[in-house]
Structure 1
Amino acid sequence: MRVFHGVTNALIIFLCFLLAGIFLRKTLLPRLMTCASRTPWIIDKAIVSKLRRWVVPWFILFGFISGLEYGDVQVPHYKFMNKTCLIVLSVSIMFFLAEVVGEFIKAYVRKADVNIPQVSILEHFTKWLVIVLGVLIILYSLGVPIGPILTGFGIGGLAVALALQDTLSNFFSGLHLLMSKQIRPGDYIRMDSGEEGYVVDITWRNTVIRELPNNYVIVPNAKLSKATIKNYYLPHKEMAVLVQVGVSYDSDLEKVEKVTIEVAKEVMEDVVGGVPSFEPLIRYHTFSDFSINFTVVLRAQEVVDQHLIKHEFVKRLHKRYKREGIEIPYPVRKVYLKEEKWDREIVDGSSS
């Protein structure tokens, strides 16, 4: 009879904890998430979002441990079961903290720049760092000496570092790229070897670049850190768009400048990717063989917008020049032959 009462009490305690966990997950946590979304902090949102996954398993473990402790149940190997539950609870808390740190990093990156996707290398590095520290703390709490383990890690780490020089070089190069903020996921870059596109992700080994034709270029981090790179998003996304134009020598240059500026303003205001507030300008610079050349300066919101801007500008400028009677000359070269008067005696001598 006593055993029956003990089992009943343990079962009641376990069910109470289970219902409490379900209640918290279904009722209290959504309200906490609503409150957290109204605050300017990032860490509270990360904690509440990850609690939804772990709160019920934790209460199940609490209920099991409390049922064994206060339910007056005589269970063989009680201490072993109790310690096992505590280890499982500690491991779950360790993984919870690792997920919170990873979520915090992703949320911080998104807040720093809306267009930046997740950064795998930073997220995974911090997660594994928290997991390793958690394992060491759990072993220490169980009475396992961690001094020899740390010594073994040091010796093993030296051997691994020698064996994985290229991998570690890529890893630390990726960290350097992130910390220096010279290249960020979401940036449009061009390497000195010719590859260009959007940086999709920086992993522990390589950097993924998506080209405009929607192909991926995988570049080792060590190679990327040594390359000469043009970042089209730094210091700003907006960039100047230069278009080279030439007109005939018979053209009225004042009229050419006025008409060209009018067309450029239309393009800035009408074409997607243009900067309407920008005032276009032209600069004459060369007397070439068949034309007077000048540069038209436009402005695009980002690098990929320049193609449509140039496309529309060339079409509209050609149409407007044709209507205004402004000639865009063909590449021609005029050759003048000078007639020379030959000496009659020389001519007669050569004819004889």
Structure 2
Amino acid sequence: MILSIPDMKGLFLSLAVFLLCNAIGIIISKGIWSKVTRITTHVSEEYAEILGKALQGMPALWGALLGSYSAIRMVEAKAEWLRLLDGIVVAAGIFSITMVTARIFAAMATIYARRAEGAFPSASILANIIEAATYVTGVLIILQTFGVSIAPILTALGVGGLAVALALQDTLANVFSGLHILLAKPIQAGDYIKLSTGEEGHVMDISWRNTTIRALGNSLIIVPNQKIASAIIINYDKPDRELAVSVSVGVSYASDLDHVEKVTLTVAKEVMDEMAAGIANFEPVVRFHTFGDSSILLNVILRVEGFIDQFRMKHELIKRLHTRYNREGIEIPFPIRTIHMKSVD
């Protein structure tokens, strides 16, 4: 038998202590804790929510563990059984604290990612890694509590980790590249980017293994994170979304360039003011730059709110310039090439 002939008074007393601790834990979990949560909400609603979720159900569990531990100490039993039961209760307590710590750390990591100038839908990769690392640490502490040496376990994990790392080299490279992208923030969800390999579009998602880009044609481009981390990237939304747009125009050599510049600036200003995507306080710029084969070339420089807006802006500017040039008698010449033919007698 595990127990000797018990003293009925001691047995009932240990049972009463166990039930009392359980009742206190349930009361704290259901009543008092909700009031504490409401009080902390006035300090920071966000952190109060984190604390509430992390400690959800824990007061009742801790009450049960405290009651079990107290009851065990009051029961007359063999020393080895008492040590075993004590170890189980302590291990359960350590694991419950590990759960709370893991929840808090994971939630804090998620908040950090969300505050980093726009949320990553897959920023949970960081939270998952932190949560897993916390649980591993808790399990190692429990093993150490039971007298199990963790040095051989750590050695085995190191050797096994090396083997796994070699086998999953590409996968791990993508995982750490994803973490680098998440923390360094060269790109974020919603940014319009162009890679050195030619792919371009809006960043839709950054997962633990790859980055999803939606092209303008509404097709999806899946790029491994390792390729993103090593590629040369043009991010059209950084440092801000405003973008300069240049439209090239050619006019006849017979044109009055001062008149061309004045008319072009007037039309460009009208387009900038009337279109919602135009930057209101930006003054358009006209610059002549090349004597072409059949025309003098100039650039009209506008500014729009985002990358996609440039297409509508160019469309409207070209239409209005064509109409206004015709009205003002400004010629946009066709490409002309003069060929001198030499006769041979």
Measured against aligned partners, the alpha-carbon deviations of 1:111-152 in whole angstroms (never above 9, x if no partner) come to: 231365553443333232222222222222332211110111
Matches within 5 A, 1:139-288: 139-288=143-292
Measured against aligned partners, the alpha-carbon deviations of 1:239-292 in whole angstroms (never above 9, x if no partner) come to: 211111122334332222122222222333332332222221011123334432
Match of 1:36 in 2: 44
**Distance between the aligned counterparts of 1:333 and 1:29, measured in 2?**
80
Q: Report the 3-state secondary structure (helix = DSSP H, G, I; strand = E; otherwise coil) of the residue aligned with 2:55.
A: helix
2:25 to 17, 39, 56: 17
Q: Report the 3-state secondary structure (helix = DSSP H, G, I; strand = E; otherwise coil) of the residue aligned with 1:303.
A: coil
Taking only the aligned residue pairs, the percentage that are identical comes to: 41
Contact 1:186 1:200 in 2 (8 A): yes
Q: Note the C-alpha offset of 1:69.
A: 4.6
Match of 1:308 in 2: 312
Contact 1:61 1:85 in 2 (8 A): no
Q: Report the 3-state secondary structure (helix = DSSP H, G, I; strand = E; otherwise coil) of the residue aligned with 2:44.
A: helix
Measured against aligned partners, the alpha-carbon deviations of 1:268-326 in whole angstroms (never above 9, x if no partner) come to: 33323322222210111233344322111111223222222222322333343344443
How many equivalent residue pairs? 333
Match of 1:299 in 2: 303
Moved more, 181-190 or 304-313: 181-190
Q: Report the 3-state secondary structure (helix = DSSP H, G, I; strand = E; otherwise coil) of the residue aligned with 2:332.
A: coil
**Distance between the aligned counterparts of 1:260 and 1:232, measured in 2?**
27
Measured against aligned partners, the alpha-carbon deviations of 1:34-83 in whole angstroms (never above 9, x if no partner) come to: 3114xxxxxxx44x323323434211112212333556986997765664
**Distance between the aligned counterparts of 2:220 and 2:134, measured in 1?**
32
Matched, 1:333 2:343: no
Q: Provide closer, same or farther for how the CA distance between residues 15 and 229 of structure 1 changes in structure 2, counting only shifts above 3 A.
A: same
**Distance between the aligned counterparts of 1:251 and 1:309, measured in 2?**
25
Match of 1:41 in 2: none
Q: AA paired with 1:217?
A: I
Contact 2:120 2:205 in 1 (8 A): no
Contact 2:194 2:200 in 1 (8 A): yes
Q: Note the C-alpha offset of 1:104.
A: 1.9
Match of 1:42 in 2: none
Match of 1:94 in 2: 98
1:119 to 123, 127, 131: 123
TM-score, length-scaled by structure 2? 0.81
Q: AA paired with 1:106?
A: T
Contact 1:115 1:186 in 2 (8 A): no
Contact 1:120 1:201 in 2 (8 A): no
**Distance between the aligned counterparts of 2:37 and 2:30, measured in 1?**
10
**Distance between the aligned counterparts of 1:311 and 1:233, measured in 2?**
22
Q: AA paired with 1:173?
A: S
Q: Provide closer, same or farther for how the CA distance between residues 267 and 90 of structure 1 changes in structure 2, counting only shifts above 3 A.
A: farther
Q: What do you get for the CA RMSD once the two structures are aligned?
A: 3.4
Moved more, 71-80 or 291-300: 71-80
Measured against aligned partners, the alpha-carbon deviations of 1:176-208 in whole angstroms (never above 9, x if no partner) come to: 444554344443221222211233343332222
Q: Provide closer, same or farther for how the CA distance between residues 12 and 258 of structure 1 changes in structure 2, counting only shifts above 3 A.
A: same
Contact 1:18 1:63 in 2 (8 A): yes
Q: Provide closer, same or farther for how the CA distance between residues 115 and 69 of structure 1 changes in structure 2, counting only shifts above 3 A.
A: closer
Match of 1:107 in 2: 111
Gaps (5+ residues) in structure 1? 38-44, 347-352
Match of 1:350 in 2: none
TM-score, length-scaled by structure 1? 0.80
Gaps (5+ residues) in structure 2? 1-7
